Amino acid sequence: MTETTMPAEWAPHLRTWMAFPTPNPTFGDGPDLVRARRAWSAVANTIVRYEPLTMLVDPGDRAAAGALLDPRVEVAQVPLDDAWLRDSGPTFVHDGTGPAAVDWRFNGWGAQSWARWDQDAAVAVAVAGLTGTPVVDSPLTQEGGAFHVDGAGTVLLTETVQLDPDRNPGWTRQRVEAEVHARLGTSTAIWLPRGLTADYGEFGTRGHVDIVAAFSSSGAVLVHTQPDPGHPDHAVSQEVTAILRERGLDVVPLLAPERHEVDGELTDHSYVNHYVANGVVVACAFDDPRDEAARAVLERVYPGRTVVPVDARDIFAFGGGVHCITQQQPVFP
């Protein structure tokens, strides 16, 4: 290797990193926190059957984590504000001389009023320290769920995230692209205009791409597809599909779950928000009639991997999905 590269998610992993839910404005400190901890632990206990996994745990939550996690899950005590490690953790790349950990600026998804991030802004450096990986600082404020790479030079971005004035005031597309390409080793950026509608609610990210579209090892791009013309995401998925096909990409629809409301509130439940690990695809399940069809699509576009559905309803209830709570550490030569 002679230049910076970020491998695709389906490239071999050294391990997966996650963070254990801790009391905060997102989870509270009662029954909702218990639900979140069980949901996060179910994902961790699935992944650790296929590759090593380290769970970051706030020092005060060590006993609670031990009661729920598979004994094979390694635990590292790190102060935490929240538990979305895809967003607050480092992005592992190879900088041409060896592994490096990109530390994007993190400010609570655009300094949202409910968010706390003093501890989480330091998580990427903490994980890099635990792995012995040199840190590369970036001036760009974004989260790991805000981009997706194919490992061959292309990156997906969303205008409402990277160009968000509460994240990167004054930044232009050109400046964002230059910084992203420098840190990830990409050369082509495909901008999507927006994310799913419910992602702009109180606990949303304002447009993360990892619930909208994702590259796959088959070469196709998976797109969250809402077939109901009366649903606001119908137009979103049509627009995203058109943009990707105009760029010559093969688009494979992942139909949205049939049920798209919980307690009268619109959800952003998405099968696109899966996680690819060594030998496995951890899929989002919603006890929905379309779960099985989504599983079949994932089996087709990730040949040779076992697809394991995990109930993601209690993860999405707090603002994200399986992909949002995981972060891969690739194997580098």
- pLDDT, tens digit, for every residue of 113-156? 999 999 999 999 999 999 999 999 999 999 999 999 999 999 99
- Dihedral over alpha carbons 233, 234, 237, 242 (to 10 degrees): -140
Query: Would you call 324 a catalytic residue per the annotation?
Result: yes
Classify residue 6: in a domain, yes or no. no
* Cα–Cα separations (whole angstroms), residue 189 to 154, 186, 278: 6, 8, 27
* Cα–Cα separations (whole angstroms), residue 268 to 200, 211, 232, 320: 10, 8, 11, 8
Q: Count structural domains, the chain.
A: 1
Which is it for the CA torsion 63, 68, 74, 75, positive or negative?
negative
Q: State the chain's mean pLDDT as an integer.
A: 97
pLDDT band with cut points at 50, 70 and 90 for residue 1: very low
Classify residue 4: in a domain, yes or no. no
Classify residue 5: in a domain, yes or no. no
CATH of the domain at 103: 3.75.10.10
Classify residue 281: in a domain, yes or no. yes
The pLDDT value recorded for residue 333 is 75
Q: Which domain does 151 fall in, by range? A: 13-330
Catalytic residue among 157, 254, 276, 324: 324
